[in-house]
Each structure stands twice: as C-alpha cells, then as structure tokens.
Structure 1
Amino acid sequence: MSTVLAPLALLANGIAAGIMTATVIGFAPMMLSLPYERYVQMVHFLRPRFDPVMPLTNGLTVLLDVLLAITAGDGPARVGFATAAGLLLCVMGISITKNVPVNRYVMSLSPAAQPPDWAETDPRRRWRAWNTTRTAVALLAFATNIVATVRLG
C-alpha cells in the first residue's frame, strides 16, 4: 500500500508546494507593485483558480501522510509521514486564519472604488508575510515526505 500512497503524497505535496513557491517568487512581488485597481482585479482573477486546488492538494496530502504513518510500521518513515502531516496542518491553519480572510476582504472590494483608507488597510504586505511562512512550512513538509518515502525502502 505504501508503494502507491507515498508517490501520491509526494505528487500532491509537490504540486501545492510548487504553486506556493511560484506565488512567493512571482505573484506576491507583482501584486505589491500593482496599483489598487489592478491588484484587486488580479485577486478576483486568481482566487477562483487557486482556491479549489490548494485545499484539495494539501488536504489530500495530510490524509495520505496519516495513512502512511499508520501503515509504515515502526521507525523513521512513520515519524516522517506523521511529521509531514503535522506540518501541512500548520500550512492549512495559516491559510484558514491568515490568508483566506485577506482574500475574502479583497474579493469584497470593487476594482473601480478604492476605499478612502486603503493606505492604512492595504493587506498585501501582511498577506505576503503569511504566504511566505506557509510556503516555507509546505516546503519543509515536502522535504520531510521525500525523506520518509526514501526510508520506506
């Protein structure tokens, strides 16, 4: 069973970590450089595309890691998969409590009507900081999954 589940966990974790890395090195800096109208338009365009994928890939990886931790027997692989699952739960927690509320706020904005207090409420730097944090944790989970998969054999 592990020979099927481990590659699936690596695939799902790798997709999520890759998307998040692309966001850190590309989308977030671009968003910071955009004027209000273009930034809000970009979020309105990207969110419906990323939101179905990210919870699915992270949630699937947690599920697979838990199953792998249960079936891997005693030893380093079991600890690795359990650790990766815990790390991804942290990623999901950051997403739900920090990044998703910002996304919802920006989705509620009209690109044509900048709030008068935008200079004070602009959430881009805060969102970027939390996105960078969760990406680092996702990459650590990915590395942990790689090591755990190697330890299976």
Structure 2
Amino acid sequence: MTDLLLPLAFLANGLAAGVLVGTVLGVVPFYMTLAADSYVRAHAFAVGRYDPFQPACLLVTFAADVAVAVTAPTTAVRVLCAAAGLAAVSVVAISLTRNVPMNRWIRAQDPDTLPAGWDMDAFRRRWARWNSRRTAVAVLALVLNAAAAVALP
C-alpha cells in the first residue's frame, strides 16, 4: 500500500506546491504592477483556475499521507508522512481562512466601480503574505514526503 500511496502523496503535493511557488514567483509580482481595475480582473481570472486544482491536490496529499502514516513499515516513514499530512491540511486551513475569503471578495467586485476608499496595495500585500505562508508550508510538506520516500526500507 505504501508503494502506491506515498508516490501519490508526493505527486499531488508536488503539483500543489508547484502551483503555489509559481504564484509567488510570477503571479504576485505581476499583480503588484497592475492598476486596480486590471488587478481585480486578473486576480478573479486566476482564482477561478487555481482554486479547484490546488485544494484537490492538497486533499489527495493529506489522505494519502494519513493512509501511509497508518500503514507504513517503519516509524520514520509514519512520522514523516503524518507531519506531511498535517502540513498539507494546514495549507488548506490557511487557504480557507485567509486567501479564499479575499479571493471571493475580489471576484464579487466590479472592476469599473470599485469601493471608495479601498486600499488595493494593502489588500495585495496581505493576500501575498498569506499566499507566501501557505506556499512555505506546502513546500515543507513536499520536503517531508521526499524524506519519507528516502526513508523507505
């Protein structure tokens, strides 16, 4: 079972972490260059593509890691996968409590009539900060899954 589930966790985790790292490296810096109306359009466009994919990958990572943590042949692999699963579900928690509410707010805005007094720069910085945090946790999960793969007998 571990021979099937650990590669699945590693693949799903790598895809999710890759999307998040790509966002940190390319999308966020691009967002920072945009005028308010263009930013709202670009953010809403991207969110509709990333949101279904990234959470699904993280939930597959979590489920596979939990299954490996229960069935792995060694304590080291069990502990590493349990930690990786905890990290993956932490990314989901950060997303659901921080980034997703902000994403929903952006998607609900009309780019041509943005709320008076909206501090777009503060909003972008706050979204980017939470995105960087969840990216770091997703990469930590990936490192833990890689260590678990190396620790297999």
Q: Output the TM-score relative to the length of structure 1.
A: 0.96
Correspondence 1:44 to 2:39: no
1:50-69 aligned at under 5 Å gives the runs 50-69=50-69
Correspondence 1:14 to 2:48: no
Q: In structure 1, give the amino acid aligned to 2:133.
A: T
Superposed CA offset, 1:65-85 (max 9, x none): 000001103410000000001
Query: Which residue is 2:99 aligned to?
Result: 99
C-alpha distance in 1 between matches for 2:134 and 2:48 = 20
2:74/2:152 contact within 8 Å kept = no
Query: Which residue is 1:136 aligned to?
Result: 136
C-alpha distance in 1 between matches for 2:122 and 2:104 = 13
Deviation at 1:132, TM superposition (A): 0.3
C-alpha distance in 1 between matches for 2:110 and 2:10 = 39
1:72-87 aligned at under 5 Å gives the runs 72-87=72-87
Deviation at 1:54, TM superposition (A): 0.9
C-alpha distance in 2 between matches for 1:37 and 1:113 = 8
Where 1:123 maps in the other structure, the secondary structure is helix
Q: In structure 2, give the amino acid aligned to 1:61.
A: T
Alignment CA distance shift 1:51-1:125 (3 Å) = same
C-alpha distance in 1 between matches for 2:100 and 2:134 = 12
Q: In structure 1, give the amino acid aligned to 2:43.
A: V
Deviation at 1:48, TM superposition (A): 1.3
C-alpha distance in 2 between matches for 1:110 and 1:94 = 26
Percent sequence identity over matched residues?
A: 41
Structure 2's unaligned 5+ residue stretches are none
Q: In structure 1, give the amino acid aligned to 2:137.
A: V
Matched residues, number: 153
Deviation at 1:123, TM superposition (A): 1.3
Superposed CA offset, 1:13-32 (max 9, x none): 00000000000011011111
C-alpha distance in 2 between matches for 1:147 and 1:18 = 18
Where 1:38 maps in the other structure, the secondary structure is helix
Deviation at 1:51, TM superposition (A): 1.1
Query: Which residue is 1:145 aligned to?
Result: 145
2:83/2:141 contact within 8 Å kept = yes
Where 2:119 maps in the other structure, the secondary structure is helix
Deviation at 1:116, TM superposition (A): 1.2
Superposed CA offset, 1:22-76 (max 9, x none): 0001101111111011111112211111111011000000000000001103410
Runs of 4+ in 1 over 4 A off after TM superposition: none
Cα RMSD (Å) of the superposition? 1.3
Query: Which residue is 2:123 aligned to?
Result: 123
